[in-house]
Structure 1
Amino acid sequence: MSKVKKNNDTAGWVPLTLEGTIVSEDIGGLIGIEELTDYKLVKTKNKTQIISENTTSKKTPKKKRAVELERNDDSESRAVKKKKHNTVTKDINKLKKKKKQRGIPTYHLKEKSSIDTVNEEQSAHEVEDINEIESNINVHAWTSLGVPDVIIKALAVQNFIAPTAIQSLTLPPAILGRRDILGAAETGSGKTLAFGIPILNGILELKKKKLESMKDDDDKEEKESTINDEESEEEGSLKWESDKEEDSYSGVKHEADEDDDNDDMSVESNFEEREEFIEDEMINESSVGCVRAIDNIKIAADLQTRLKKPLYALILTPTRELAIQIKNHIVKAAKYTDIKVAVIVGGMAAVKQERILSKGPEIVIATPGRLWELMDEGNPHLSQINSIKYLAIDETDRMLERGHFQELHKILERIYTDENKRKERQTFVFSATLTMVHDIPQYLQRKKSRNVKSKISKLTQSQKLAKVIEMLKISNPKIVDVTKEKGTAGSLTECRIACTIDHKDYYLYYFLKRHAGRTLVFCNSIGCVRRLATLLGILDCDPLPLHASMQQRQRLKNLERFQADENGLLIATDVAARGLDIPNVEHVIHYQVPRTSESYVHRSGRTARAQKEGITVLMMEPSELQYYTRLCKTLGRTEDLPTFPVVDRLLIAVKERVNVAREIDKLELICRRDNAQKGWLQRAVEEMDLVLDDDQLETTMETKESADLKRQLKAKKNHLKSLVAKPLFPKGFSGKYLDTNLEIHLNNDSRKAVEVMRDALESQPEQRKKSVVKGIKKNNGFKNKKKFKKGKRQ
């Protein structure tokens, strides 16, 4: 290789071109071209390096370097650099003895040495971020409650401008007073953050205390090592000289032997040399003798205890979807922290969840069934469950019901095994119906009347709370109840539709077509969900079912699709009734009257969340009258629910479509059963290697009947297709309906269901004055039932 002359303006080496190159005949051609650069070997005391001359890594002369330092205002002075170098070399000398006592890897020590600087920079950035978001949210409202800045920053990203009522009342005693909380608030009031923020704040404080204690231990050990060094210096200088020789051999100079060539050495390079030095020494010492092997075992045990990640908090929920939702909320609130959160629910691979737990999350959100399964199998991370510092149970009234969630009681027994740790634990209990009580069921009343000494009695609110406190062994609780007397949100509009059981489908389809928007339909059974999903699917309403018998993956997928569609339709059981925060649900329809008032409150709470408007419609048929009466009595309703307005003339077209869809559903069911029977017979014949005649193969159904059935099914589908193609509500249509002897004119516009109901209430205010009990006793909530058979509503 040869040099190319450079101009004064050109710096570095210039690559050579192919001109003038000699191609060797032995090689058979030029096989590779590299940027041609001259290299030289530079020998150091302990290793050989290859340094490129065209790089800027050549040593600068001392005089030139000093001039550059003086000209650069941003660079540090030479005295400051020398002071840093002296500090680092002192640490290197101390580590020789310190490593024998502690046995901690050097990267851990490196982090410890720079931890103060990291904390100062992090706090400075947090202050700047808080100043930036101060104009967007009410920072003082959050800080006065004890919320740390790092969480306020995450809340600002989610546009949580100010705390809600339940948060304002629970955060100060939870964060500042460390009291157990029993909270009752209406749905959509922010209960998740009411217990999530105190848990995050407590974990941050615990980690901070742990970090400070480790730092104090390091300082204490450093002082002890310094005292030992001074004592050893007084005894003699032989050991010091040997250490000095060992340092010079390893390429690390002692403070007394440093020269001017190392003045510009950076702190990071010293740390790297210190790591290489200690690692080499540990390898050399540990490779000889059995005493060193025993020390390594002790070191490994010490590291294992230090690296074991603790479990700080456990949050229990009744449903899988609610657990996933709470996890998402807490992860967003802990966005700017290093707190890890994991969710453990059924319906998913247990192996994957064990892998998640192996990473050591500080917070575990779970349903009782899968959590107890993993605990019973001896999961290492869940073995710390009796040492948790925070326990939260959401929707507590449902979780603690007799006969439900038997695994929960086993988990609580495991948690409360240690009395001392129980006293250090903080407990959070939240539900929208925590303080709601209802009458004794009829079968228990009959049992009580037979037995004179029966202890069955109606619980009061205080007795119900006392039972929860006793079961969860809560001490010094703070009870916060911000629920209203009627139990539902103030922005919720409640109404009902009284009809026969056969006409529920008509009114449901009418409502879905008349009022667009995200609608959630609740049923009491899985069979009802499946039937409605099939029927409305035939009517091209695109329903999404959700019930407990579905696979968890499909349940989550349907929820995502429902949230993505502004006119989505979800048909679900009470699995979706509690805690789910689905945005912008405009309508909640109770296709069947809920059996308990708690279910009604939680179902209705899926709409009218966060001060938004919503409507809930209760569809009631005569056999459900007793449940409706009990519901109104429990909620303290002295007035009957108003009737939702329906245009009678439109029910004729609705009835025709629904009846055709029902016939199609029946024909498809017959075809599926026939195909299943044929398939079973054909499989049996193939397995037995039999040959049957055509007459024998037609035992399930004659070929002619099957063909007629298919033609009939095809004709019904074409008929329904033609009906659906026509507009159900023509433009400019206006209709009249009679209800309570009032004639109201409705124009077909784009009004929402809430607006239609509000206008109806303004035009018939005397309807609210009806007593629930008197109205039910007089006509059972219905008028002439014969007219229902003609498709007309009264």
Structure 2
Amino acid sequence: MILEAFKELGLSDRTLDALAAKGFETPSPIQRLTIPVMLQNRNDIIAQAQTGTGKTAAFGLPIVELLEPRAKQVQALILAPTRELAIQVNDEIQSFRKGDLRVTPIYGGAAMNEQLRRLRAGVDIVVGTPGRILDHLRRGTLDLSSLRWLVLDEADEMLNMGFIDDVDEILSYAPDERRIFLFSATMPDRIAGLSRKYMRDIEVLRVENKQVTADLTDQIYFEVRESDKFDALTRIIDVENDFYGIVFCRTKVAVDQLVNNLLERGYAAEGLHGDVSQSQREKILRKFKKRHSNILVATDVAARGIDVSNLTHVINYSLPQDPESYVHRIGRTGRAGNEGTAITFISPAENRQFMFLQRQVKAEIRKETLPTGHDIVEMKKLKIKDELAEIVENETYADYDEIARELLAELDPEVALAALMRLAFKNELDESNYPEIRRIDVNRRGTSRLFIGLGKSSGYRPKLIVELLARECGIPQQKIDDVKCMDDFSFATIPFQDAEAAMKKLNSLRELAQDDRPLAKLAKESEKQSDRNPNGVRDSGRNYRRGPRDSYQRRGGSQDYSKRRDHTRRKY
């Protein structure tokens, strides 16, 4: 039985069926440790494990096994530090037992009326952020008198985000007859103090800490427009000698569309998502593991539990929703001593989310430049030469001796060989098969447009505005862009992270203000349009713009793809 390892942990057949439908195959280390202890329902638990180790199933599966469905009383409360994690945990737990289980997410920013309606109707499990949970407790709209399990997920992150006092107060509402399960990657003193105050009969379970990402996984990203992602993906596939990887999409529709596009281009691709039946899933995975297909396109949920140790690539075609999903994804390459590459495509709209993800995973994800059509053709030529040399060395051409002599008797050698190449490779060496992908800098989206109440009537010109921002606000001149001076005001684009401090500083310069209004503020969309002439055309003659940006540099060298590739070992 494929889920025999899960069955040995004490899970019921109904839960095993749900896991099979989700594509789980083997339990993670934290699941092996935690599930049997939680099913005994005797001890409070402190479980130390890093993000991306399957903690949601570790605490969610035992709770689903033990609770009384549709009791219309809150039996389990799960606290998460962010609403994104709360939503993810909520969805995951619901998928373990559909039909007779009521789970609801409670977090700030969502409609209070809808949350009140659900709570009044009765729920079995509440998943929420500390602030909103505490709000409901103080209002008396959340009743924990029947609570049996309280889970603190990512407890150290709640401490880092300043929620620990809220958590302390929430725990004071819980009845004495409850179990507390604390999950944390680290155990700071404040968290340890909380456990001593509220937990009893504690059993500590630890998973050996490993690096969040595999040492052998090279993490890089490419900046591309959403419309160019498909062409970017095919370039990555084409430039590799032996591409074998998983491409992650966020939705079922995106998986199906990408698979269809790949098949139309002649690639051996298969797709996995929640609508794929178990029998079809097993068939697809057999093909992929035998390399009858070398590209597997999947959603995060559908890829859970897949164990393939020799992937060359993991491609984040769309950004994962949270750092944990990113870690799950890229951890599938760089296994079993094999080197692997994790690639993420970043569109301008995804820049801020990507910046947050980088900070959370605390790993180097370096920027690279996509290969051009010329790069790919050159790589293919090298591959052809290598394969021809291998055939000659192994003397596996004997069956073609006779036809070779006939062709050379009729044609010049160069003509015969060129014609054979065209017959074998058709248009593969035609650079026009690879349309231009325009380069972009997504960090330009990480900027703010300032409205400054100084213009030509005050004696200011673009150069003086740049000098003002550099002198008074400490912003390097090379980071000040697209300065525009009008009669009574000006515009300038500066880094997003500098905007608040710059406005505060400029507004303190009362000697420059023309009246009582603020000297600087964020430009509104209507104001951004005011630097156009009546015909809607920008007046570029008075525009101040920096020159072309330098190419991305790392360790003293350009990251230009074509200058760094080695056809014997393809490294981005």
The TM-score range, normalised by the shorter chain, is: 0.3 to 0.5
Bigger Rg, which one? 1
- Higher strand proportion: 2
The alignment's TM-score, normalised by the length of structure 1, stands at 0.35
Higher helix share: 1
